[in-house]
Amino acid sequence: MVLRRALLAAARGRGVQKLASTMPVSSTIVSRFVAGETADEAIEVARQLLDEGIQVTIDHLGEHTEDREGAESATRAYLDLLDRLSRAGVARSCEVSLKLSALGRDLRPDGEKLALENTRTIALAARNAGTAISIDMEDYTTVDSTLSVVQELRRDFPETGAVLQAYLRRTEGDCRDLAYQGSRVRLCKGAYAAPESVAFRRRSEIDLSYVRCLKILMAGQGYPMVATHDPRLIEIASALAMRYDRSPGSYEFQMLYGVRPEEQRRLVSLGDTVRVYLPYGDQWYAYLMRRLAERPAYVGFFLRSLVTR
Ligand code: FDA
């Protein structure tokens, strides 16, 4: 728990980030979780997954952009990605995931408006390419703002995916609000630091919350996207899908690139829809820190990569 908190704090800190910034994506521990530095490298990995019957959501890494130029550059990166996906003929099976903080939400005085405009531009390009976007959920202070952007976008782009985090005490209520016809909702446990006043801390409490949220989404009219690697929760999700008479195409499992690939293939072989979250780009540091916080066994590999590079 202490190590987890330290790693999540490091994800926002500058110290290790500076040291790590010279590590290439090709370094072993980074390449386990990150598809490459360029859109073309990500598309190449996406093709391999598609060949195995696995769908993809691609994330251009980066968060907490500090100026308008950064937000514009992140927007352009997504437009370029969607153009390349379209030209490669794989856009229908590859949606994109994005973070509002990468698109300018933190900027004063009108960051939320700027992020909404940038996201709208990307959502339109995604639709023209034959695919859709999902908006990642970041730390607990941004949930209201993110959900209001999702709501606004869904007026014109109802296919926009939302993300809810089971570790937040409010999330059962949010699941009820979002379990309507056509609403695509990714349910994950939650990867950011959050105080006990707003979040469950114990694993067992988070898992129980996840199951309560899953029940609401599976019983509802929307399209649940079950984002977890947890074998017990995957089993419960399958049982709930059966209980609520859901056919395989009416919900999907989602996992992170590099995590439990054999389980991804097993679910596909059972006829389930599986989508892998595939990040690429050189801003991998915060993303990798959150993965290390989930699996501290990898910390040794990371430190070794830092000193032996
Ligand atoms: P957890 O980490 O508790 O692991 C449960 C069990 O899963 C383990 O005990 C083990 O059995 C198995 N397992 C997990 N990792 C494994 C590994 N590497 N190898 C083998 N077994 C392993 N978060 C967020 O806050 N906002 C977001 O927008 C997203 N988006 C997102 C998209 C997708 C597709 C996924 C899968 C996840 C996210 N997340 C996220 C991250 C999420 O909140 C969470 O931090 C991670 O998924 C880890 O949680 P698990 O549910 O896998 O359980």
Q: What are the residue boundaries of the structural domains of the chain, listed by start?
A: 35-283
| Topology of the domain comprising 35-283 | TIM Barrel (3.20.20)
Is pLDDT at 272 greater than 70 in this prediction?
Answer: yes
Mean pLDDT across the stretch 111-134?
Answer: 98
pLDDT bracket for residue 18 (50, 70, 90)? low
- Does 186 participate in catalysis according to the annotation? yes
Higher pLDDT, 180 or 5: 180
Please tell me if the CB atom of residue 228 comes closer than 6 angstroms to any atom of ligand 1: yes
Q: Is 291 one of the annotated binding-site residues? A: yes
Average pLDDT for residues 28-37, to the nearest whole number? 89
Known binding residue 300? Answer is: no
- Ligand 1 neighbourhood includes 191 CB (under 6 angstroms): yes
pLDDT at 27 over 90: no
Task: Please tell me which residue in 186, 207, 272, 275 is annotated as part of the active site.
Answer: 186
Name the residue at shortest CA distance from atom 5 of ligand 1. 230
With 70 as the cut, is the pLDDT of residue 68 above it? yes
Q: How far apart are CA 107 and CA 71, in angstroms?
A: 9
The CB of 227 under 6 Å from ligand 1? The reply is: yes
Quote the mean pLDDT of the chain: 94
How far is the centre of ligand 1, averaged over its atoms, from the C-alpha of 1 (Å)?
16
In terms of DSSP bridges, do strands 162-165 and 94-98 run parallel, antiparallel, or are they unpaired? unpaired
Pocket of ligand 1, candidates 98, 136, 189, 298: which has the most ligand atoms within 8 Å of its Cβ, to mutate?
189
Is the ipTM higher than 0.95? The answer is yes
pTM of the model: 0.95
Answer yes or no: is 228 a known binding residue.
yes
The answer to whether the CB of 230 is under 6 A from ligand 1 is yes
Does ligand 1 come within 6 angstroms of the Cβ of 46?
no
Give the integer Cα–Cα distance in Å for 26 and 126: 29
